[in-house]
Structure 1
Amino acid sequence: MTIYNHIQGAIDTHVHLGVSRFSGVATTPDAIIQAMDRFGIQSSLVMPQPTLESIPEVHKAIYAMSQNYPGRIYGMASIDPWLSEEEYRSEAAVCIEDYGFVALKLHPLGHNISPLSAGCEKIYEEASTYRIPVLVHTGIGNPFSLPSLMIDAAKRFPAVTFVLAHAGFAVYTDEAVIAAKYCENIILEPSWCPTYTVVKMINTIGVERIIMGSDHLSNLPVELMKFQSIGLSDADLEQILIHNPKKIFNL
């Protein structure tokens, strides 16, 4: 039996597979599908944890999930930007061209790199070439994870959509809102943010630029209830939970 029946078909844009090097949380394919079924999630965008595991092997496991659950699982590549250009572009080509992944991930904390570093240019260039979004961890892990650091790339790569994961992680949410206010190609994913800040995001940039992500499976029902508890209409809920991610990630 599922709950949240009136939002059946929701899309979770932030799901991890593997073992996190920070929290120690281990997430398996079966656990992902079970959580999706329990809470009425139609599709999930799955990426590697910031992990000590082999990232190419985790990418392969995500691809296998996408084959086992077509239309329900979509991959997102999280490739170490410290790799050489050749190595980075090679893994990106495998993930996007061969595996059909729909986005790239930059984790300034997990990758230990500033978004302003020259090493990140290849991420933005690949996203521009393949016309796919870049999801960027923001909030925890400063100074590299400050939302404002994405303004430069957003201005220089206007055709690329940048999704600020966690939208500043509560503490830096105002900064994420300002970044999105002045960069129309910045989208906010407010996992772990308080409800009143989500209202501020919607009032500032509109429902068309907000998406839902869980980050951890145990947080999924919390994020779903968060959007239901702030007085949104059914049409606005469907916009955030279904229509926006379909458009942004070309699902």
Structure 2
Amino acid sequence: MIIDAHTHICTNNTNPIASVDHLLEEMHAANTDAAIVFPLSDAFSANKELVDAIKGHPNLIPLAFINPNEKEALSQFKQCIEEYGMRGLKIHPTLSNFHIDDRSKLHELFSCCDEHRLNIVIHCTSDDHRVHPYHIETMAKCYPHATFQIAHMGAIWCADQAIETAKRNDNIYLDTGIASFNALRRAMNEVPDKVLMGADFPFYLYEMEQIKVKKAAEYSQNDTAEVFRLAAGENCRKLYRIEEKR
């Protein structure tokens, strides 16, 4: 199966490229079977709008995008999980302005994910000290039953540290969006079972990301076909317990 682990959907027409219709066209063109999707905005209302927009498309698996600074963040997240059927948490320290190991803001959210064994997608690029991979590792150790997806793999300058944390912690995964070809090749060498293909749609397209992942697999030290199979969908399928396509 081909599954993309990092996709944004916009429901208010401010970014028409990120519409559900355009996403489905993109998935069809790139032979993508399923996608992990979340809103383009951290406004709570965007979560219900997303769920409504993807009704009838079981291959689009929604995560809740929550701003931990909101006083009702936990109740909002529980509503997303219990009422809307969302399957995990997306947070963005840069956009929402918080530090990833600020337990005063994140403990309740992460405890909920830990209890229900949910995945947490965390925007992580090297230009923001608030979300360095080592800070994510600190939280991953505190909530061992949740899983932590380092989105963008620390981007360029923190990719090595992101890979290190994935090697040390069973519950840390790396997604490929924005990550360099060379960083991805290193991740495929060292933690092939932790790599999740994620295009960061609509900023990048599935076809572009799949080419990057295929080429990195070819240049890795492991079996090309197997490494690509894991990164392109199998790791994500297992993480979200998605039924295998027959």
Unaligned runs of 5+ in 1: 1-8
2: CA distance between counterparts of 1:30 and 1:57?
20
Deviations 1:134-166 (A, max 9, x none): 111101551112121101111111111100000
Partner SS for 1:184: coil
Match of 2:2 among 10, 15, 39: 10
Partner SS for 2:63: strand
Deviations 1:153-194 (A, max 9, x none): 111111111000000112211121122122221101021112
- On the 8 A contact 1:10/1:40 being kept in 2, the answer is yes
- On the 8 A contact 2:6/2:35 being kept in 1, the answer is yes
Unaligned runs of 5+ in 2: none
Partner SS for 1:47: strand
C-alpha RMSD of matched pairs (Å): 1.9
- On the 8 A contact 1:109/1:141 being kept in 2, the answer is no
- Identity level (%): 22
1: CA distance between counterparts of 2:11 and 2:49?
13
Aligned residue pairs, count: 233
1:62 equivalenced with 2:50 (yes/no):
yes
Cross-structure match for 1:189: 175
1:208 equivalenced with 2:193 (yes/no):
yes
Deviations 1:222-241 (A, max 9, x none): 21001111215323222222
Question: Which has the higher relative contact order, 1 or 2, with Cα contacts under 8 A spaced 6 or more apart?
Answer: 2
Match of 1:81 among 45, 49, 68: 68
1:198 equivalenced with 2:190 (yes/no):
no
- The alpha carbon displacement at 1:200 in A equals 0.9
In the TM superposition, what are the counterparts of 1:34-183 in structure 2 within 5 Å?
A: 34-50=25-41, 55-70=43-58, 72-84=59-71, 87-117=72-102, 118-183=104-169
Cross-structure match for 1:6: none
Code of the residue aligned with 1:58 in structure 2: it is: A
1: CA distance between counterparts of 2:206 and 2:85?
25
1: CA distance between counterparts of 2:210 and 2:140?
28
TM-score by length of 1: 0.86
Partner SS for 1:109: helix
